[in-house]
Amino acid sequence: MKTRISSLLGIKYPIIQGGMAWVAEYHLASAVSEAGGLGLIGAASAPAEWVRGQIREVRKLTDKPFGVNIMLMSPYADDVAKVIVEEKVKVVTTGAGSPEKYMKMWKEAGIRVIPVIASVALAKRMEKCGADAVVAEGCEAGGHIGESTTMTLVPQAADAVEIPVIAAGGIGDGRGIAAAFMLGAEGVQMGTHFVVTDECQVHENYKERILKAKDIDSRVTGRTTGHPVRALRNDMTKQYLELENKGAGFEELEQLTLGGLRRAVVDGDVKTGSVMAGQIAGLVKERMSCRALIEKLMKETKDLLEGRMADE
Ligand code: TUI
């Protein structure tokens, strides 16, 4: 399946694996890239030398294209931005901010830059400062989110910019991918479904929580602090939302989530940890390898776009 995204990135299928904090490490990223998608290392709040190590590990496992996602609120963002250049990474995606200050350095190094945007205004700004594409991420996504849904953001972003748009948030199967294409996207980014793949190293409890999730199990904490985060409901989200309702302040709320993602991903504490996942978790019922997942997604998408129904 060729689109401007698969050509731009030199990949077989226009599927990007989200750069999920604590989750998107080298085993997952290399497996996605080997299977024909674009694997990402999620730099999250990790030190730059950790990111350098991850880049080198991916290269031991695949010679196919891969990228790094920089979380721009990270205290190490400046250092990670430089490591990406030093290590000659070909693709960078950014989240939770605007990457304008790094753009010149990255473009001069010939890096493909794909910012994640949550608004049309940012999409336009990114195009102007030289972005090669944007990921339009709707609030169905897991983790830190914006206001608009994927259904509304993707077509508006596609109309507003000439560069290709990649849809993210709420996509879990071929129906979601075909729908995203209908909205004007030329690629998709998926996170939640990749968390339950064989190659993903998260704690078993985290995978089980996603596989058992129902459609209504998703919660958004932090709306009052201006930092909304989507996760699966548990003791932490319940307590957080109760405190938020009572008008608790930032400090008190922050205590509840501090280190929570690490606790869930690494220690398997899915009760008090932060089990970040998208709203599509309820659709994710099967675990398989990254290759099997990507091939299943592409077959479903192709059948739909060619007008075949699922049982034909
Ligand atoms: O960044 C994400 N998702 C994330 S980052 C993250 S790390 C974290 N860890 C613990 C607690 C909280 C966060 C977890 N999930 N997605 C991409 C994304 N970017 N979503 C929304 C945005 C965004 C929002 C506002 C991008 C830019 C923006 O405004 C920038 C500007 O200057 O206008």
Burial label, 67 (beta-carbon count in 10 A; 0-12, 13-18, 19+): buried
Tell me, yes or no, whether 287 lies in a domain.
no
Q: How many domains does the chain have?
A: 2
**Best probe residue, ligand 1, of 92, 144, 230, 266 (max atoms within 8 Å of C-beta):** 144
Q: Provide mean pLDDT across the span 103-123.
A: 98
Q: What is the pLDDT of residue 310?
A: 61
Q: What is the pLDDT of residue 77?
A: 98
Evaluate: CB of 71 within 6 angstroms of ligand 1.
Answer: yes
Evaluate: CB of 36 within 6 angstroms of ligand 1.
Answer: no
pLDDT tens, residue by residue, 21-71: 999 999 999 999 999 999 999 999 999 999 999 999 999 999 999 999 999
Evaluate: CB of 116 within 6 angstroms of ligand 1.
Answer: yes
Q: Which atom from ligand 1 is nearest to the alpha carbon of 125?
A: 33
Q: What is the pLDDT of residue 1?
A: 82
If asked whether residues 223 and 192 sit together in one domain, one would say: no
Q: Provide mean pLDDT across the span 101-126.
A: 98
Nearest-angstrom CA–CA distance, 90 and 84 = 8
Q: What is the pLDDT of residue 4?
A: 97
Q: In what order do the strands lie in the sheet with 143-144?
A: 143-144, 229-232, 218-221
Evaluate: CB of 72 within 6 angstroms of ligand 1.
Answer: no
Evaluate: CB of 123 within 6 angstroms of ligand 1.
Answer: no
For ligand 1, atom 22, the nearest C-alpha belongs to 96
If asked whether residues 91 and 159 sit together in one domain, one would say: yes
If asked whether residues 38 and 186 sit together in one domain, one would say: yes
Res. 101: pLDDT tops 70: yes
Res. 309: pLDDT tops 80: no
If asked whether residues 161 and 101 sit together in one domain, one would say: yes
CA-nearest of 230, 235, 233 to 214 is: 233
Tell me, yes or no, whether 184 lies in a domain.
yes
Tell me, yes or no, whether 96 lies in a domain.
yes
Q: What is the pLDDT of residue 308?
A: 75
Give me the percent of the chain exceeding a pLDDT of 70: 99
Q: What is the pLDDT of residue 60?
A: 98
If asked whether residues 171 and 87 sit together in one domain, one would say: yes
* Confidence band for 312, pLDDT divided at 50, 70 and 90: low
Res. 124: pLDDT tops 90: yes
Distance (angstroms) between ligand 1 centre and the Cα of 76 equals 15
Asked if 261 and 273 count as a contact pair (C-beta separation under 8 A), the reply is yes
Evaluate: CB of 269 within 6 angstroms of ligand 1.
Answer: no
Q: What is the pLDDT of residue 161?
A: 98
If asked whether residues 191 and 239 sit together in one domain, one would say: no
Last residue of one domain, picked from the residues 161, 178, 201: 201
Nearest-angstrom CA–CA distance, 135 and 115 = 6
User: Domain range holding 41?
Assistant: 4-201
pLDDT tens, residue by residue, 245-256: 999 999 999 999
Distance (angstroms) between ligand 1 centre and the Cα of 34 equals 27
Residue 68, beta-bridge partner list = 41, 92
Q: What is the pLDDT of residue 256?
A: 94
* Confidence band for 234, pLDDT divided at 50, 70 and 90: very high
Burial label, 298 (beta-carbon count in 10 A; 0-12, 13-18, 19+): buried
If asked whether residues 21 and 102 sit together in one domain, one would say: yes
pLDDT averaged over every residue in the chain: 97
Number of C-beta neighbours around residue 228 at 10 A = 16
If asked whether residues 155 and 220 sit together in one domain, one would say: no
Res. 243: pLDDT tops 70: yes
Evaluate: CB of 23 within 6 angstroms of ligand 1.
Answer: no
Evaluate: CB of 264 within 6 angstroms of ligand 1.
Answer: no
Last residue of one domain, picked from the residues 201, 224, 241: 201
Distance (angstroms) between ligand 1 centre and the Cα of 114 equals 14
Nearest-angstrom CA–CA distance, 136 and 167 = 5
Tell me, yes or no, whether 208 lies in a domain.
no
For residue 56, give the CATH number of its domain.
Answer: 3.20.20.70
Distance (angstroms) between ligand 1 centre and the Cα of 263 equals 20
If asked whether residues 8 and 146 sit together in one domain, one would say: yes
If asked whether residues 195 and 58 sit together in one domain, one would say: yes
Nearest-angstrom CA–CA distance, 295 and 148 = 30
Residue 230, beta-bridge partner list = 143, 220
Res. 76: pLDDT tops 80: yes
Res. 311: pLDDT tops 80: no
Q: Provide mean pLDDT across the span 107-136.
A: 98
Distance (angstroms) between ligand 1 centre and the Cα of 311 equals 39
Evaluate: CB of 137 within 6 angstroms of ligand 1.
Answer: yes
Distance (angstroms) between ligand 1 centre and the Cα of 145 equals 6
Q: What is the pLDDT of residue 189?
A: 98
Tokens of 218: 């998703």
If asked whether residues 225 and 80 sit together in one domain, one would say: no
pLDDT tens, residue by residue, 132-187: 999 999 999 999 999 999 999 999 999 999 999 999 999 999 999 999 999 999 99
Half-sphere exposure of residue 6, counting CA atoms within 13 Å on the CB side? 11
